[in-house]
Amino acid sequence: MVLDTPILVPAMCLSFPGRIEVIRGDSALVDYGEYGVRENVNVSLVDAKVGSYVLVQGGFAIKVLSSEEAKETLETWRMIRELQEPAEEPEN
């Protein structure tokens, strides 16, 4: 069977908030907070400074967040992680 029209499948990409620690050219070291996760990301798409919070998607900072946006986004991700943690088994 051949379809005349393409089938569109919805896709979703996730962005993660992080705080910029160091900037060198178009690259920045971003700290994602808990668990000590840090990575280099490209910041050429945004006007970010050391100490700024950014949303990172696919290795690129795509948006600079205000302090309030960063706080709300980090809290949302914290709640998502809590929901994903397995419930502890009750002791007998």
**pLDDT score of 42:** 98
Using one digit for the tens of pLDDT, what is the confidence trace for 2-27? 556 666 666 677 888 999 999 999 99
Q: Is residue 4 part of a domain?
A: no
Q: Which residue has the tokens 């962005």?
A: 15
Cα-Cα-Cα-Cα dihedral sign, residues 13, 51, 39, 27: positive
Low-confidence ranges of the chain (pLDDT < 70): 1-11, 87-92
CB neighbours (10 Å) of residue 15?
16
| Residue 72, domain CATH | 2.30.30.140
Range of the domain at 39: 16-84
Decide if 7 is inside a domain: no
Q: State the total domains in the chain.
A: 1
46 assigned to some structural domain: yes
pLDDT at residue 64, rounded to an integer: 97
